Structure 1
Amino acid sequence: MSEVNMTLGAAKKVDNSALPADNGNPFVGAGPAYEAPFLEALEPALSDLAKYGIKVVANAGNTDTETLYKIVCRMVKEKELNIKVAWISGDEVLPAITDALHLGTSTFKNIYTGEVLSSWEFKPIYAQAYLGGQGIAEALSLGAQIVICGRVADASPVIGAAVWYHGWHRSQLTELANAFIAGHLIECSCYVTSGNFSGFKVLDSTSAGWADIGYPIAEISQSGKVIITKQKATGGAVTVDTCSAQLLYEIQGPWYFNSDVTAVVDEVWFEQIGPDRIALNGVKALPPPPTTKVGITARGGFQAEAMYFMTGLDVAEKARMTEAQLRKSLSPYSDRFSLLAFSVLGVPALDADSQNAATVVFRIFAQARKSEDIAPPKFLRPVMDNIMQAYPGGTFHLDFRLGIPKPYLEYYVTLLDQSRVHHAVHFDGKTTTIPPPPLTNVYPERQPSQPTTALPIDLAKFGPTQHVPLGTIVHARSGDKGSDCNCGFWVRQGVEYAWLRNLLSVDTIKLLLGKEYDTSRVPKIEIERFELPNLRAVHFLFRNLLDRGATSTSSVDFLGKNVAEYLRARYVNVPVKFLARGKL
């Protein structure tokens, strides 16, 4: 369940509770605050679940877990099936946040920006904590066949299932850490089976192909040994590279935190033990932190956007002309905007053989605290009215719906002591409380980082080079966490890794980021780096690269997934001998 799901679910939960919304305008996404598609998948499977005793754990409750639980119970009853259902509570923590602020026991510093909650300019409407897997394990132990959760950590369903099945104790940190990484590997559905994979082209020449990429399966033994595989007779693949991609996705550094355990990933490696079967190795374990992550949602205001199409020559000048004209036309109203941004999306192909290939998008984006401040007469109309004095070929997009103000949400991420989370299982008319972890460890605010490799080699020693895109031989995967973005790079051969770890220093990555590394941005962009030698990987955390996060950012790359592809497209000097080994 992504942070986008959480923020949208929070607004729906508040609106469904009939609380007044800011500016008297309820959030346009009103509807179920749970994940309704879960029911579409569950309903046709219920008979087989009952017949074979298959257990299901899902975090589809989002912000309305109890309601989803009641619906599932009703579905089971209507089909006259003997399936027992439990639900997990404790993730709703706004009262705990409010009480601690009032008592002065915590400032609730934003883990991304460093600001404190009392200085945040937005009013919280909802807060959700990330729960571990112990509640799920308890529900299964009590006899539940379906367990409905809200905001558990993405890997917690897998942790909970493994703890229940193997009867692990909370002190078995190594086993918990392996289950945690197994959960991380399969939490994003088809990502580990070749979805969002920079080596996707290789699948085009295989019998598996691109279509109908199969869902992943994690096999977890009593000792914590993990094997990742997938459904038979489906597309995609499970390889060392696809698993490396997913491991590197959305981590923040060598320490990977969960409410149950901390997994240390800097020595992880994968082994291909059969077709579409990968063994996980090298996971180390430490106690969990005493805190858990909390996402706080607030109403940010309203936003609108419009687009022009620019074709052929002089796009940069056409864009400058249009921006100057629109800033003038919008000036009577723009002092009420909280943000006004102009951007060019794409570059026209050289000597393009079609008009589409020669065309890019010019995007105008605005935000304001009140809907009336970017109403069509104050934003969309001036933007469209510019057409008669526009650049040669001036053409705007005829879909004006994006130009109508729509609400957006702000998201604030902080930490809450696990002792203040009332984690509980509701099953068979009884409530069972899940205590916080008995053993924890306090970690530094910043993870270990090394700006350059500890084993420097002069890049000239790798021989003659060719100036080509980094992604010619280098894989990458990136993703968002609030306003932060992470990006992991890896190569296929050990000798290539000696080059990669020497090439990709913090200073080099700043150059590759180009204009994205905006030193004037507040809060400022900071970069952290660590190496995963067993994966032949270098990982970067880009703090505050994504503006304010997925639901409020002005960027079209609101999930941070295209950062990796942008960086792979940047040109570097690659040793010719590596290019001879073959391109990705």
Structure 2
Amino acid sequence: MTAIRIGNISGFYGDRLGAAREMLDGGPVDVLCGDYLAELTMLILAKAQAKDPEAGYAKTFLAQMRDVLADCVARGVKVVSNAGGLNPAGLAAALEELGTGARIAYVEGDDLRGSLDAIVPAVAGKLVSANAYLGAWGIAEALAAGADVVVTGRVTDASLVVGPAAWWHGWARDDWDALAGAVVAGHVIECGPQATGGNYSFLDEVTDRRYPGFPIAEVAAGGSSVITKHPGTGGLVSVGTVTAQLLYEIAAPAYAGPDCTTHFDTLSLTQDGEHRVEITGVRGTPPPPTLKVALNDAGGYRNTMTLVLTGLDIQAKAAFAEQLLFEVLGGRDRFAEVDVRLLRFDHPDAASNAEATAHLRITVKDPDPRLVGRAFSNATMELALGGYAGFHTTTPPSAESAFGVYRPAAVPREAVTQTVVLPDGSRSVVADPPGVSDGTSLPLDVSDVPSLTSAPTGPTTRAPFGRVVGARSGDKGGDANIGVWARTDEAYAWLRGFLTIDRARELLGPEAAELEIEVHELANLRALNVVVHGILGDGVASSTRPDPQAKGLGEYLRSRVVDVPEALLEGGPE
């Protein structure tokens, strides 16, 4: 049977609207899929639904379908998306109203707000959102019943590829290796152009600087896949760009999902031609007995003001400003939480005014919006004439904003009922996989991991870490991961000896000094995955870091100057 060609048209809620038309018209595809549900998005959709019960889904997907759905039906191209968010039935109804004749199905059962009793750890009170991560079989069953479009709530991102592939190839629920192969393909294309040269460390490798074409996964009957993009589109598909995305937002190599456990340390990547990377050898085992759950609470209210400091005595000016401001406000203890960060961008004897500035970023949080609203931001203005020399702010005084707190949890599989509503209106409960495991160990022989080359010896020189390695970082709730990979066997041999837990903590600086850090090896990718627990606090909606999703953390790590073997530096040391 021929491979199924699945093209991604969205990596997040707010991604490129034109991607659907570009994917449909750019070349042959069998399925359009799109991911719209980041953890933060569930909070955004919950707020929208609180104002309007008919809302709660990703409206950008509906806009894309207005443009392409009639053509998809005419060409026999299926559409699969998690844009249903908290209201997949509402999105299905809105798609029906487009009048294209498309047969619409939807998957539900992930929303646990009506019954929180089975969630571990136990939760109390009323959550803003509580969603289990469902798998792919509801999607597969809907396609088998003749659906042209399948919309879901919170399924795993990879399920948007696994479901169509399982339907197309007729896989069984215990075809673990094939399912795991599709999970890997789905993980690569779920974030759109991040697989095709977007956000890539080695910018010099991306010679076509047009906006990258969105990725396509060609998934074969055995679960192997080829990652590619349409001809004539920008960007790059290489072993490097695919490696970067494989390392994005994972933890241990045993990647537990609702349909199988995928072992990222078993796969192999091969360049299969220009802009084509083949993924083979993925092994899978049964999934764990629980499903992941994403919880969002209403955390209260927050406000931030940023004071600009210029020239000399930056630290003294910052300390003076902080002291004066909290005197005006009546003390720090009036607020539930205070976060003050001095961000140093300044240079001595700067060539321009802008290069002589630093920022004092002050954030306050509290359940009472009155405390952190204009009462806080207006108070900063009292320093305008009575504070430090050169006082000004980056913005005028602002009002408070609500924030959410993300918490990961789990729920027994038997406590969740996944239901697919077919185009004829009939409902079907989706069966669980035939077996589960602890999701951690691989009862297979993985001794075929490539033997490691010896690390280079000889003189070293001080150079940025990123001269030798690439990195990609991201968030999972309050944790961040940094996937770090090398491009040669020699560089990886050095990397795995160099980047220990203690070295990672040292290079990441003071904010990681007291945090739990893990380092996982993926020798098959010449990579290490560094997981930093708690660096993002209670998740992106609550984090007070300037980079709340840790998107730049990997590039910061690459910028650190370390002792590098001269043999690894192209052309010798600079």
1:580 aligns with 2:574: no
Residues 231 and 420 (structure 1 numbering): CA distance in 2 closer, same or farther, change over 3 Å? same
1:48 has 2:38 as partner: no
What is the alpha-carbon distance in structure 2 between the residues aligned to residue 46 and residue 372 of structure 1? 47
In 2: Cα distance, 1:583 partner to 1:133 partner: 50
Deviations 1:82-134 (A, max 9, x none): 31110111111123323x3xxxxx6x13xxxxxx535xxx7423211111000
Task: Give the corresponding residue for 2:305.
Answer: 306
Q: Which residue of 2 aligns with 1:347?
A: 345
Cα distance change, pair 336–502 in 1 and its aligned pair in 2 (3 A): same
AA matched with 1:430 = S
Q: Please name the residue that 1:263 is paired with.
A: 262
TM-score by length of 1: 0.87
- Per the alignment, residue 370 of structure 2 pairs with 372
The reply to whether residue 128 of structure 1 matches residue 131 of structure 2 is yes
For 2:128, what is the secondary structure of its paired residue? strand
Is 1:389 the counterpart of 2:392 in the alignment? no
Is it true that 1:162 corresponds to 2:157 in the alignment?
no
- Find the counterpart in structure 2 of residue 565 from structure 1: 555
Q: Would the alpha carbon gap of residues 174 and 458 (structure 1) be closer, same or farther in structure 2, given more than 3 Å must change?
A: closer
Aligned to 1:511: 506
2:116–2:123 Cα contact (<8 Å) kept: no
Count matched residues: 528
Checking the alignment, whether the CA contact within 8 Å between 1:367 and 1:374 is kept in structure 2 is yes
Say if 1:89 and 1:424, in contact at 8 Å, map to a contact too. yes
1: CA distance between counterparts of 2:573 and 2:136?
42
Instruction: Give the superposition deviation at 1:39.
Output: 1.4
Q: What is the letter of the counterpart of residue 108 of structure 2? A: S
Separation in 2, partners of 1:581, 1:265: 33
Aligned equivalents of 1:583 and 1:260: distance in 2? 48
The answer to whether residue 154 in structure 2 is matched with residue 151 in structure 1 is yes
User: Retained in 2: the 8 A contact 1:96–1:420?
Assistant: no
What is aligned with 2:92? 69
Look up the equivalent residue of 2:163 and give its one-letter code. Answer: G
Distance 1:349 1:38 in 2: 46
Q: Distance in 1 between matches of 2:412 and 2:178?
A: 24
Q: CA deviation at 1:16?
A: 2.8
How many Å separate the matches in 1 of 2:51 and 2:550? 29
1:554 corresponds in structure 2 to 544
Residues 14 and 125 of structure 1 are in contact (CA less than 8 Å); yes or no, is this contact kept in structure 2? no
Per-residue displacement from partner, 1:520-541 (whole Å, max 9, x unpaired)?
xxxxx21111111121111111
Amino acid at match of 1:167: G
Higher mean C-alpha displacement, 56-65 vs 123-132: 123-132
CA distance in 1, matches of 2:572, 2:276: 24
1:9-32 superposed Cα distances (whole Å, 9 cap, x missing partner) = 123323434xxxxxxxxxxxxx93
Name the structure where helix makes up a greater proportion of residues. 1
Conserved 8 A contact 1:194-1:238? yes
> Residue 528 of structure 1 contacts residue 541 of structure 1 at CA under 8 Å; is this kept in 2?
yes
Following superposition, the deviation at residue 253 of structure 1 comes to 0.8
More displaced 10-residue stretch of structure 1: 270-279 or 380-389: 380-389
3-state SS in 1 of match to 2:384? helix
TM-score (norm 2): 0.88
Partner of 1:284: 283
Residue number in structure 1 paired with 2:110 = 91
Percentage of pairs with the same residue: 36
2:57 to 29, 34, 58: 34
Q: Supply the distance in 2 between the matched residues of 1:359 and 1:300 (Cα, whole angstroms).
A: 33
Code of the aligned partner of 1:513: L
Residue in structure 1 matched with residue 464 of structure 2 by the alignment: 469
> What code does the residue aligned with 2:123 have?
L
Q: How far is 1:581 from its partner? A: 4.8
Which of 491-500 and 385-394 deviates more?
A: 385-394
- Equivalent position amino acid for 1:408 in 2: F
Q: Which amino acid aligns with 1:569?
A: S
Partner SS, residue 197 of structure 1:
coil
CA distance in 1, matches of 2:465, 2:246: 21
Amino acid at match of 2:435: L
Q: Distance in 1 between matches of 2:329 and 2:203?
A: 44
Alignment map for 1:286-435 (pairs within 5 Å): 286-332=285-331, 334-377=332-375, 379-400=376-397, 403-427=398-422, 428-435=424-431
Shift of 1:553: 1.0
Deviations 1:389-428 (A, max 9, x none): 322211122433xx31111111221001111111011111
Query: What one-letter code is carried by the residue in structure 1 that aligns with 2:308?
Result: F
Give the CA deviation at 1:233: 1.1
Q: Provide Cα deviations, 1:437-473, integer angstroms capped at 9, x if missing partner.
A: 221112469xxxxxxxxx99998x6221121221122
- Work out whether residues 383 and 391 of structure 2, in 8 Å CA contact, stay in contact via their aligned partners in 1: no
The answer as to whether partners of 1:462 and 1:499 remain within 8 angstroms in 2 is: no
**2:307–2:359 Cα contact (<8 Å) kept:** yes
Distance 1:264 1:137 in 2: 23
Question: Does structure 1 residue 14 correspond to structure 2 residue 50?
Answer: yes
**Aligned residue in 2 for 1:537:** 527
* Equivalent pair of 1:58/1:157 in contact (CA under 8 Å): yes
5+ residue gaps in structure 1?
18-30, 101-105, 110-115, 446-454, 520-524
Alignment partners' CA distance in 1, 2:260 and 2:440:
16
What is the CA–CA distance in structure 1 between the aligned matches of 2:91 and 2:198, rounded to whole Å?
Answer: 29
**Closer, same or farther in 2 for the Cα pair 1:575/1:559, shift >3 Å?**
same
- AA partner of residue 267 (structure 1): T
What are the ranges of 5 or more consecutive residues in structure 2 without an aligned counterpart?
1-36, 442-450
Amino acid at match of 2:234: G
Shift of the 536–456 alpha-carbon distance from structure 1 to 2, 3 Å rule, reads: closer
Q: What do you get for the CA RMSD once the two structures are aligned? A: 2.2
Q: What's 1:27 paired with?
A: none
Aligned residue for 2:29? none
Listed one character per residue, the Cα deviations across residues 172-205 of structure 1 (whole Å, up to 9, x for unaligned) are 01000000010000000110111111112432xx
Runs of 4+ off more than 4 Å? 455-459, 581-584
- 1:3 matched to which residue of 2? 39
- Alpha-carbon deviation of 1:7? 1.7
Partner of 2:144: 141
1:253 corresponds in structure 2 to 252
Q: Matched residues in 2 for 1:257 and 1:177: separation?
A: 10
Partner of 2:11: none
* 1:441 and 2:437 aligned: yes
1:40 Cα shift? 1.5
Asked whether 1:117 is paired with 2:123, we answer: yes
Report the Cα distance in structure 1 between the residues aligned to 2:71 and 2:541, rounded to whole angstroms: 38
Q: CA deviation at 1:544?
A: 1.0
Alignment of 1:198-209 (within 5 A): 198-203=201-206, 206=207, 208-209=208-209
Aligned to 2:13: none
Change (3 A) 1:314 1:462: farther
What residue identity is the alignment partner of 2:271? Q
The 1:84–1:286 alpha-carbon spacing in structure 2 relative to 1, beyond 3 Å, is same
Deviation at 1:506, TM superposition (A): 0.5
Give the Cα–Cα distance (whole angstroms) in 2 for the partners of residues 68 and 456 of structure 1: 51
Match of 1:228 in 2: 227
Give the Cα separation in 2 of the matches to 1:263 and 1:544. 25
CA distance in 2 between counterparts of 1:531 and 1:9 reads 37
The Cα of 1:327 is off from its aligned counterpart by: 2.7
Per the alignment, do residues 176 and 457 of structure 1 end up closer, same or farther by CA in structure 2, a change over 3 Å counting?
A: closer
